[in-house]
Amino acid sequence: MKISLNDLITVPRSKKPDRRQFIGGSDARIIMSPDEAALIRLWKEKRGEAEPEDLSSNLVVQLGVATEALNQTWYERNTGRVVTDIRLVRRVPRPGLRSIYLGG
């Protein structure tokens, strides 16, 4: 099944995204790592079987938050493309599929 960005529905910015409903950058890092315990914890978190991990003291996450503007500027300068949909959550309008988060 192919899905393009045009198939997605924008979720209002005023609504804080439920982290269980999408895969963020920290989640992707865990999914791609060999840490099986972290992957199982993430799986349980996404299913609502475990409380979300508190990332407020996670250095990698906090560095990402602190450098979002720098990362955007760097990307735009090096690609010639302009980032427009910052912190945008989009939902796939099909049952069984989740959301994507277009962070900074």
Residue 39 has pLDDT above 90, yes or no: yes
Number of domains present in the structure of the chain: 1
pLDDT at 77: 95
64 located within any domain: no
How far is it, in rounded angstroms, from Cα 41 to Cα 27?
A: 11
This model's pTM is above 0.75: no
Least confident interval from 25-34, 55-64, 92-101: 92-101
> Average pLDDT of 4-8?
55
Separation of first and last alpha carbons in the chain: 27
Strand runs (DSSP E) across 1-104, as ranges? 9-11, 22-23, 88-91, 99-102
How far is it, in rounded angstroms, from Cα 52 to Cα 5?
A: 28
Residue 80 has pLDDT above 80, yes or no: yes
In this structure, the strands spanning 99-102 and 22-23 are parallel
| Full residue range of the structural domain in which residue 25 is found | 5-56+84-102
Average pLDDT taken over every residue of the chain: 78
